[in-house]
Amino acid sequence: MCLLRIRQQVLQQYRFSSCTDTIFTPYLGHGDAVRVVDAELGTLEREGVSAGSDGTSQPRRRNISRRESNPDAEENDPLIVTTDKGKVRGVTLTSPTGKKVDAWMGIPYAQPPVGALRFRHPRPAERWSGILNATTPPNTCVQIVDTLFGDFPGATMWNPNTNLTEDCLYINVAVPHPRPKNSPVMLWIFGAEENIILVSMQYRVASLGFLYLGTPDAPGNAGLFDQHLALRWVRNNIHRFGGDPTRVTLFGESAGAVSVSMHLLSSLSHDLFQRAILQSGSPTAPWALITRDEAINRTLRLAEAVECPHNRDELSEVLECLRSRDAKQLVNNEWNNLGICEFPFVPVVDGSFLDESPQRAMATGRFKKTDILTGSNTEEGYYFIIYYLTELLRKEEGITVTREEFLKAVRELNPYVNGAVRQAIVFEYTDWTDPDNAHSNRDALDKMVGDYHFTCNVNEFAHRYAEEGNNVYMYLYTHRTKANPWPRWTGVMHGDEINYVFGEPLNPSLTYTDEEKEFSRRIMRYWVNFAKTGNPNPGFVSNLPDWPKHTAHGRQYMELGLNTTYLGRGPRLRQCAFWKKYLPQLMAATSDREQFNQKLHQRWKPIREESKFFNTHNTISHTGNTECQLMTPFLIKSTTIMCFVTVIAIKIYILNSNVK
């Protein structure tokens, strides 16, 4: 079995730390990079890049041994493996608990996407002769480095600390020592504590991975095709490392989970993996996809920002100029006038990888029928609000939000909705037992953002999969690490589960408690059991609490906390009914009303100016001074229809939210 772990921006690799022996642990970065901390490993041969004359990154071949060698010795060396492109040499490392693992890092699965290949779909790696040195982590794909909070560890822990270049399409394999045969393979690192093979890959992100112009040279979704090519590499090569290519499990977190879901939707990938784990991400998330037209607009805005031609009628000139710009200059100029949780360059329905929108595919059942494990964390929103409203939610203890600040924040966090919809959001997330409670107002902002962008989309995805009869297991992650560097009020943030899935608490050099170490073992067992069998439960008598299936009727989930095994329904069914059922109908009703009023205003303007029967100033006031204009008597029938639609929407919302 193979568990393939996908995250945004690139797949995390490994972290090494210096102890009495080399420590092999997963790197848990949220910024998706490779970390190399061990000085001894840092002296080994590794690939670099050199700057070309045009300022772009140019590939430089990884060190390939061509010295005279004994063929018999090579054949018997378990660290030399022959892939379909050539031989690679790995290294034996030691896990925090003393277990051995063989690792091959930086195996190329695609040609370096530089020069004329920038923005294009990837091409398979070329063959090499000799033995490629795969003993050190490869380059990291170019991405934004978080510097907002300086050297604050809660932020910098996600940053890359290997070379950022475009020459980054490499795959990594970690195998238990001694090597198994036909082992389940997980494309993630589990601290070498479970008898599985881990594979991770890096893929292009941001504009370098998802820029779209609708042309062969910039077709969009290049990052998804990178992942697809890596999956093909696994199918063709993992048996050479002792893995079973027929038992591959994909998993990822956040935008990585969205990537996993895109492979579930794309028929191109369906035969390349068996199961999927999605942590805090879904294809129906509002930030997961943009239209082709919007993708072109964002490309043109980026071109303007880096002083390139940006005329829609001159796309070839736009592309030529963008290729000449330094890769880091591009990613550093992408973020212009975007809302919270909006990523500038994301997948599009390109007609190649994706044939239709995720919403339509989910509605019609056109997705891979398989087992999934999915869930979210209790405070999904704070991480993003802190970066978006930095003055309101400062990175310090004791932060609260007044009622006035709450109302202003709701406006800023929901910039694309009309007044009626915004007031509905305020109403839903107000604690009406104490509307001025500054702690409740602060926490309501987290729940508002977390529900809309993460939790409710995860719920929706799980429910649709369950409706089709698939095995679905759902969790709500509720444990806050004792040594968490973020303020206590941030709770269990987006990404907090990653450390425990990776087994980081088992590293004796870190300050996790004994309870947290055991909790991490429990999480890893659940994840690995699922990857092996499609069921997180062990299948034999065990001290692990039984995890029930999530069904379309019962909607069960298990709380993953330090000392709890609570089983619930949902989670947050009422709030998700608000976002997924009631609010879309309210938006449609109010949008139709506004458009109707505008058209009528233009059509009847001469008559209204002369007639005493048209009262265009009869209003009904609502909370926050939002006004519903009623035109009488001529519009009374139309107004009644609009009110009726809204009432029906409210009734549907109530009927679908009677489970708290």
| Nearest-angstrom CA–CA distance, 269 and 249 | 12
Single out the catalytic residue among 494, 504, 559, 657.
Answer: 494
Cα gap 206→335, rounded to integer Å: 10
Residue 184, SS3 per DSSP: strand
Q: Is 380 considered catalytic here?
A: yes
User: What DSSP character marks residue 62?
Assistant: P
Reading the block at residue 322, the tokens are 């963008």
Residue type, 79: L
Structure tokens at 402: 């007044």
Longest dimension (CA), the chain: 103
Whole-angstrom Cα distance, residue 96 to residue 355? Answer: 45
Known catalytic membership, residue 494: yes
Q: Which long-range contacts (CB under 8 A, 24 or more apart) does 91-94 make?
A: 91/134, 91/135, 92/177, 93/16, 93/22, 93/24, 94/21, 94/22, 94/23, 94/24
- CA 74, chain centre distance (Å): 41
Distance CA 44, CA 477 (A): 39
SS (H, E, C) 144-176: CCCCCCCCCHHHHCCCCCCCEECCCCEEEEEEE
Q: Are 569 and 556 in contact (CB under 8 A)?
A: yes
Of 166, 380, 428, 559, the catalytic one is 380
The SS3 of residue 259 is helix
Instruction: Measure the CA–CA gap between 608 and 615, rounded to whole angstroms.
Output: 8
DSSP string, 372-438: EEEEEETB-SHHHHHHHSTTTS-SSTT----HHHHHHHHHHH-TTS-HHHHHHHHHHT--TTSTT-H
183-186 and 197-201 strand pairing? parallel
Angle of the 315-324 helix axis to the 292-305 helix axis, nearest 10: 50
Which residues are identified as catalytic?
A: 254, 380, 494
